[in-house]
Amino acid sequence: MSGLPVEQAGEGASFEQLLLARHSCRAFLPTSVDRDVIQRILRTAQLAPSWCNAQPWKLIITGGEATERFRRELLEHIRASQPEPDIPFPQAYRGVYLDRRRTCGFQLYEAVGIARGDREASSQQARENFRFFGAPHVAIVTSDVSLGQYGTIDCGAYVTTFLLAAAAHGVASIAQAALASYSPFLRAYFDIPEDRVIVCGISFGYADQDHPANRFRTTRAPLNEVVDWRG
């Protein structure tokens, strides 16, 4: 799938144009996003639906030196630590899910010039997650532990709305489960209380359109693979 770059879609774009323009940005410019623009994105994202209008999401958002310090300390932490997410990651990808995951990975590796089987280069690329792909801002999304899995589902709706709201303002983004893989570190670093579940991170800013990591787009399954008509 392809469409206009996020920066060219912007305000006034149709919903379909925003969906086509939005992609997971894996290389950002260092330019900060104005606080007013971030607040407009947040106000729009706040319109996301949730069960009984519970709105279980809370965010911690970094910018400027706070992002740089977080980036440095997280990179240092992962050198000697094992992943420990609040929400268990998939135990295995099988069948079509494995195929799709591999295709996405191969597309990224091809775009940035990593040969298949080059574990060192692929490991270095994976570390870019913890550099936030150079983004000037990171949002850490949490849910209330008492709301269980459905609170997390509500947060998923919020994250999607955030990504599209960002695209509407010409701001690129990427949702990152990888950041939640070190939940104990995030909890201690940001003083997140125990009654909050760390769901994911969102890195955002302005895309580096010239970076090869931003030159590929994933595809979507046809309807006959996901819809079972019963009438």
From residue 159, alpha-carbon distances to 57, 78, 138 in Å are 9, 25, 13
Q: Residue 2: CA atoms inside 13 Å, Cβ hemisphere, count? A: 3
pLDDT at 7: 59
| Phi, psi for residue 149 in degrees, rounded to 5 | -65, -35
From residue 54, alpha-carbon distances to 41, 50, 140, 143, 198 in Å are 20, 6, 19, 10, 17
Number of Cβ atoms within 10 Å of the Cβ of 82: 7
Q: What pLDDT band is residue 6 in, cutting at 50, 70 and 90? A: low
Domains and CATH numbers, the chain: 13-88+134-210 (3.40.109.10)
pLDDT digits (tens, 9 = 90+) for 57-94: 999 999 999 999 999 999 999 999 999 999 999 999 99
pLDDT at 5: 61
pLDDT at 11: 62
Q: Residue 223: is its pLDDT beyond 80? A: yes
Q: What is the mean pLDDT of the chain?
A: 95
pLDDT digits (tens, 9 = 90+) for 53-62: 999 999 999 9
pLDDT digits (tens, 9 = 90+) for 170-190: 999 999 999 999 999 999 999
pLDDT digits (tens, 9 = 90+) for 147-172: 999 999 999 999 999 999 999 999 99
Q: Residue 204: is its pLDDT beyond 70? A: yes
Q: Residue 230: is its pLDDT beyond 70? A: yes
pLDDT at 12: 67
pLDDT digits (tens, 9 = 90+) for 8-35: 555 667 899 999 999 999 999 999 999 9
pTM, full prediction? 0.92
Q: What percent of the chain has pLDDT over 90?
A: 92
pLDDT digits (tens, 9 = 90+) for 122-145: 899 999 999 999 999 999 999 999
CA torsion angle 17 224 95 220 (round to 10): -10
pLDDT at 13: 74
